[in-house]
Amino acid sequence: MISISKLLCELDAESDGLRYDAADDSNVPQITRKKQRRPVVVWNTTKRCNLYCSHCYASADTEALPNELSTAEGKALLDQLADFGVPVVLFSGGEPLIREDLSELVAYAAEQGIRPVLSTNGTLLTREAARELKEAGLKYAGVSVDGLADRNDEFRGKDGAFEAAVRGIEACLDVGLKTGLRYTITKYNDDDLEGVIDLLTDVGVDRFCFYHLDYGGRGADILDADLTPDEKRAAIRTLCDLTREYHDRGEEIETLLVGNYADAGFLVEYAREELGEQRADRIETYLRRNGGDPTGERVADVDPIGNVHLNQFWQGYTLGNVRDRPFGELWSDETNPLLTALRNRTQHLKGRCGTCQYQDICRGGSRLRALAVHDDLFAPDPQCYLTDEEIGIETAGIESSGYPEAHGD
């Protein structure tokens, strides 16, 4: 997750050094140099959903799986996560609000010292539900919207989904539950970016999280909906420009990017062009500490029946099941060659990713996309949109790598 707003608008070029503040509910000392050592865990609490979105990585459907974790098992999972030192659990789905025990699980996570946050389509978020979740200890609700009304409803497979999601956002704001937008950028909706930010800012939203399409679940069936590298570059530039315009007007919206760490290199290049060399260097320093793509390291996923995955999009491979082994054992099992390779991935990366000058702030981007397109775990991320010049390599070297060029100008 890369914060455009913090990097471009809130870092003061006059001061020295950067630091992270611990989150507001943490009682541990502030960390200045260490990377996060335990993963944020996405828990897909159910496969059931009241919508049917074209890009759903969890392939959610109308029916729950027959063997989903029960309430007691869910609490046992949260115990496992707490014992391992997991800082945050993101309750996701399917649609997590369909689970009748959601507030109970949220409260239990909070009691164990794990920060509970929510990913929802928002359509079931009544004011009562929002209040109950807030009282249970929920810290944040991210509501998915994928375009203005017509495009969103078509993408999400239900008329009225946009209006219902906006009502859900308003319900959160009414009860004082922090909320924000989740938006997956595709060919279907990149024209709506500005309109959605404008509209939801008027509603009162000040946090906007933009996802690149990853190639897992139903997302793997709509690769043609993904933006070309040139289109990605244009979309991210639009978001950078918009963020700065808002901040210049005194509206301090928070904008974030997820799912394509080419964005890290792009932000450095953008800052160099727009804000100067010194600011660009500072941004690169921050991004280096952030560490690049977190798959298999700082993000993990547990699906509805307890399978542990390398991230939420990579549902086709599982490390094991929390019913068989505790989460911490699975995540720490250094005999697993895939897990170990991902944690040392820079030794294995090939082609453009192997020699990229932004390797330490990107770490090869999405290995799942490389696998989906090139059938090679260590091939270049096909959706890197940085130019050869930007990543500091000779074109001749790329051609000899045997992978098609994906970058644009």
Partner 1 sequence: MADHVRREAYESQTGTIDVVEKTRRAGTHEPRGTTEPQWEVFVREREGDPMTHVGAIAAPDPEIAHEQASKLFSWYGRDIWVCPANAVTRFSAHEMAAGGDSETDEEHGSSEAIPAGENEPRVYEETEGTPNVRQG
Tell whether residue 32 is a contact of partner 1 (CB under 8 A).
yes
Query: What one-letter code names the amino acid at 270?
Result: Y
Q: Does 233 bind partner 1 (CB under 8 A)?
A: no
Contact set for partner 1, span 99-118 (CB under 8 A): 100-101, 104, 108, 111, 115, 117
Instruction: Determine if 304 is a binding residue for partner 1 (CB under 8 A).
Output: yes
User: Which residues between 150 and 169 bind partner 1 (CB under 8 A)?
Assistant: none
Give yes or no for residue 66 binding partner 1 (CB under 8 A).
yes
Q: How far is the CB of 49 from partner 1 (least distance, A)?
A: 13
Q: Which is nearer to partner 1, 37 or 343 (CB)?
A: 37
CB-CB contact of 77 with 86 (8 Å): no
Pick the stretch among 233-241, 273-281, 333-341, 397-405 that binds partner 1 (CB under 8 A): 333-341
- In the block, tokens 């959605």 appear at 196
Q: Considering only CA atoms, which of 185, 359, 347, 354 is closest in space to residue 265?
A: 359
Phi, psi of 77 (to 5 degrees): -60, -45
Q: How far apart are CA 134 and CA 122, in angstroms?
A: 15
Q: By CB under 8 A, is residue 343 in contact with partner 1?
A: no
Phi (first) and psi of residue 255, to 5 degrees: -125, 135
Q: b vs e for 19-31, b when ≥16 Cβ sit within 10 Å of the residue's Cβ? A: eeeeeeeeeeeee
* DSSP-derived 3-state class of residue 217: helix
Q: How many CB atoms are located within 10 Å of the residue 158 CB?
A: 17
Interface with partner 1: number of residues (CB under 8 A): 102
- Which residue of 202, 344, 375, 396 would you call a contact of partner 1, by CB under 8 A? 375
Q: Which of 54, 59, 238, 357 binds partner 1 (CB under 8 A)?
A: 59
Contact between 226 and 383 (Cβ < 8 Å):
yes
Assess contact for 13 and 276: CB atoms under 8 A. Answer: yes
**Between β-strands 299-302 and 307-309, what pairing exists: parallel, antiparallel or unpaired?**
antiparallel
Q: Is 137 in the site for partner 1 (CB under 8 A)?
A: no
**Under the criterion CB under 8 A, does residue 378 sit at the interface with partner 1?**
yes
* Closest separation in Å from C-beta 273 to partner 1: 21
Q: Considering the rule CB under 8 A, would residue 22 count as an interface residue with partner 1?
A: yes
Residues 245-264 that bind partner 1 (CB under 8 A): 256
For the record, the structure tokens of 275 come out as 């804000």
Minimum CB distance to partner 1 smaller for 223 or for 371: 371
Q: Which stretch binds partner 1 (CB under 8 A): 81-89, 158-166, 358-366, 392-400?
A: 81-89
In the block, residue with structure tokens 């046992």: 76
Is residue 361 a contact point for partner 1 (CB under 8 A)? no
> Quick one: which segment of 144-152, 193-201, 285-293, 352-360 binds partner 1 (CB under 8 A)?
285-293
Contact 145, 103 (CB under 8 A): no
Closest distance of CB 254 from partner 1, Å: 9
Question: Using CA atoms, how far apart are residues 193 and 146, in angstroms rounded to an integer?
Answer: 9
Is 82 one of the binding residues for partner 1 (CB under 8 A)?
yes
Footprint of partner 1 on 184-223 (CB under 8 A)? 207, 209
Examine residue 180 and tell whether it contacts partner 1 (CB under 8 A): yes
Amino acid at 257: L
Alpha-carbon distances, residue 176 vs 109, 134, 142, 204 (angstroms): 20, 8, 14, 11
